[in-house]
Amino acid sequence: MVIAWSNASHSAIVTLKKEGRSPYSFGRTMRISECIACKEFPCTDINHDRYLVPSIDLDPERISIAMISEAAPASPADCYYASGKPLFQQTTVQAFKDAGVSVTSTRDLIKLGVYFTTAVKCGKTGYGIELSTIRECSFILAKELALFPQLRVLMLMGDVAIKSVNHIAKTAGEERVIPAGSTYKIREGEYFFRGKRVFPSYLQAGPSFFIEKSKRRMIAEDIASAMRLVKQ
């Protein structure tokens, strides 16, 4: 895996500085897709035609929560930041409404300091994703999260996101962030990663969100807890 951090993100930051702008000051934006990328696409169990990194301009200093779901959607039109009414936006907005947060769009949530991304940047070809693929993409996710200096909360929406962050910690020689076990058993614990509170939860992006009411309730509880934490 070759991460375009040393080239793309460095170039983006250098450009901002040449223009007299700081990428890490309030009111200044940077485009995430210009800062991280996969160049070699070594994974074999996913659809590289559905490779998707958030192409959105935002002020990284204003992001306090990163919500990490599973993989890129089957269609780019359904990603968090697509125009219209993309599926990922619909289910995620509903999850926040369930938690008592009055929003109507991804844009509203960004204004509240929430950033959305996926642990795996390409689309799935089957039900699951191989651990080797999660590990490869975790290097991109690590660089992505490092773009946000004010992060206080990581919301890990499903097993893929949990495994990805655990691998980031392992690669750095740190202890695993989330212990092994069923999510419903471990989600009540308090977990931290590099000073950030970490919430293990369930997948909120996509059609599966509407299937199990018990998981939907727990997602809402986890979101509410995260929002209360950043408001303190």
Q: What is the DSSP string of 141-191?
A: HHHHHTT-TT--EEEEESHHHHHHHHHHHHHTTPPPSS-SS-HHHHTTS-E
Contacts of 123 (CB under 8 A, 6+ apart): 46, 47, 49, 50, 51, 52, 71, 72, 73, 74
Cα–Cα–Cα angle for 159, 161, 193, rounded to 5 degrees: 115
Helix (H) and strand (E) counts in the chain: 7, 8
> Which pLDDT value is given to residue 58?
93
Taking the model in full, what pTM does it have? 0.88
Q: How far apart are CA 232 and CA 221, in angstroms?
A: 17
Q: Which CATH number fits domain 62-231: 3.40.470.10, 3.40.190.10, 3.20.20.80, 3.30.70.3270?
A: 3.40.470.10
> Which pLDDT value is given to residue 23?
39
> Which pLDDT value is given to residue 11?
44
> Which pLDDT value is given to residue 22?
39
Q: How far apart are CA 72 and CA 51, in angstroms?
A: 7
Which tokens is 48 given? Answer: 């590289």
Helical pair 87-98 and 213-231, crossing angle rounded to 10 deg:
70
Give me the residues of the chain with pLDDT under 50, please. 1-26
Which tokens is 107 given? Answer: 């844009």
> Which pLDDT value is given to residue 29?
87
> Which pLDDT value is given to residue 24?
38
> Which pLDDT value is given to residue 161?
98
